[in-house]
Amino acid sequence: MSSLPLIDPDNALFLDFDGTLADLAPRPELVQVEAGLVGTLRALHRQLGGAVAIVSGRTIAELDAFLAPLQLPTAGVHGAELRDAEGRRLEVPAPDLDRLHRRLEDFARGHPGLRLERKPMALAVHYRAAPELETLVREQVAQALGDVSGLEMLHGKMVVEVKPAGVTKGSAVELIMRSPPFAGRLPIFAGDDVTDEDGFAMVAHLGGVGVLVGQRASAATVSVPAPADLRAWLHRSARALDGGEAAETHAPPAAHAGETRSDPDTAAAPAAATAATAGPSGSGSNPSASTTSS
Ligand SMILES: [Mg+2]
């Protein structure tokens, strides 16, 4: 299994937010952004010539609020909203969600553990507070959706969403990669959820690297245990890229194959370009951490 090399000046970076850049929280609005993360993202954005994008199920407005004052190229709502490197907004035609929203409102009202979220281009039923309702939620959303054309269901972590059909994190990556400063670069996509698999598949198709945060079967080629490890890798890469620029030498691309240190508690320290199979703390549950596409 490959280890996770430091980010190269020729890479383009695509980053999921929840569970990847930020630790998950009991409720989506309670998620916190680590001090220092915005600074590192800003540095990487500069170092990679602007080729750093956020790709998330959240809306662009929410993501901007979390990362303020930074505004990166962003695909929101799984790609249904898009802001390119020039700051232009491209959106798929807004689907008519009103009827579906009313039906799901009735359902959610009957179950206090559920939270129905209306996004500009999608609906989400969160069941993190009532995980035992997963099957019921899936059934009810499928039933409410019926055979409405142009919409499809998406199952994420503790959430079932309805969004425009055919729009995925993979299609978002493909679209963003068509234009400067992304075009021609080798993409890296980091994500944690099953909804990120489309992104992993797309970067694999483009010859790039998928980085799974967590452990499960995946199309990603490399994994790190937790968001703290992913952040440590970003911090470390940004420092290395700056060092390379300052010395006016080409930063050595990724000659770090042997590095296996992983310490989730040292997110801001030079640690943890964690290889897929590096289970340094022997915490036990790392047998098939790395999943490779072939
Ligand atoms: Mg995520």
Specify whether 8 is catalytic.
no
Query: Dmax of the chain from CA atoms?
Result: 63
Give the range among 107-121, 159-173, 212-226, 232-246 with minimum mean pLDDT.
Answer: 232-246
pLDDT band at 244 (very low <50, low <70, confident <90, very high): low
**27 to each of 21, 152, 192, how far by Cα in Å?**
16, 24, 17
For residue 231, the CA-to-ligand 1 centroid distance in Å is: 14
pLDDT band at 147 (very low <50, low <70, confident <90, very high): confident
pLDDT of residue 26: 83
**194 to each of 16, 55, 152, 188, 201, how far by Cα in Å?**
12, 13, 15, 17, 11
Q: Between 160 and 274, whose confidence is greater?
A: 160
**48 to each of 25, 133, 181, 200, how far by Cα in Å?**
30, 43, 9, 20
189's enclosing H/E stretch is strand 186-191
Q: Which one of the listed residues 16, 84, 192, 229 is annotated catalytic?
A: 16
pLDDT of residue 95: 86
Q: Which domains does the chain have, with CATH numbers?
A: 11-91+168-246 (3.40.50.1000), 98-164 (3.30.70.1020)
Closest of 31, 15, 44 to residue 169, by C-alpha: 15
For residue 260, the CA-to-ligand 1 centroid distance in Å is: 24
Report d(CA 96, CA 148) in Å as an integer.
Answer: 10
**13 to each of 20, 31, 268, how far by Cα in Å?**
13, 22, 19
For residue 251, the CA-to-ligand 1 centroid distance in Å is: 30
**265 to each of 57, 225, 226, 230, 257, how far by Cα in Å?**
27, 12, 10, 12, 22
For residue 102, the CA-to-ligand 1 centroid distance in Å is: 27
Q: Is 103 helix (H, G, I), strand (E, B) or coil?
A: helix
pLDDT of residue 177: 97
For residue 24, the CA-to-ligand 1 centroid distance in Å is: 8
pLDDT band at 2 (very low <50, low <70, confident <90, very high): low
Q: Is 106 helix (H, G, I), strand (E, B) or coil?
A: helix
For residue 226, the CA-to-ligand 1 centroid distance in Å is: 11
Q: Whole-number mean pLDDT of the chain? A: 84
pLDDT at 258 over 50: no
pLDDT at 142 over 80: yes
Contact 187, 211 (CB under 8 A): no
pLDDT band at 9 (very low <50, low <70, confident <90, very high): very high
pLDDT band at 201 (very low <50, low <70, confident <90, very high): very high
Report d(CA 55, CA 169) in Å as an integer.
Answer: 7
Q: Between 249 and 235, whose confidence is greater?
A: 235
Give the range among 28-32, 191-195, 272-276 with minimum mean pLDDT.
Answer: 272-276
pLDDT digits (tens, 9 = 90+) for 47-62: 999 999 999 999 999 9
pLDDT at 129 over 70: yes
pLDDT band at 248 (very low <50, low <70, confident <90, very high): very low
pLDDT at 186 over 70: yes
Burial of residue 211, with CB atoms counted within 10 A of its CB: 0-12 exposed, 13-18 middle, 19 or more buried: buried
pLDDT of residue 184: 97
For residue 72, the CA-to-ligand 1 centroid distance in Å is: 17
pLDDT of residue 1: 41
Give the range among 14-23, 119-128, 262-271 with minimum mean pLDDT.
Answer: 262-271
For residue 252, the CA-to-ligand 1 centroid distance in Å is: 30
For residue 215, the CA-to-ligand 1 centroid distance in Å is: 13
Give the range among 35-39, 84-88, 275-279 with minimum mean pLDDT.
Answer: 275-279
Q: Find where tokens 């620029």 sit.
A: 245
Mean pLDDT on 243-264: 42
pLDDT of residue 28: 85
Mean pLDDT on 156-169: 92
HSE value, Cβ hemisphere, 13 Å, CA-based, for 80: 23
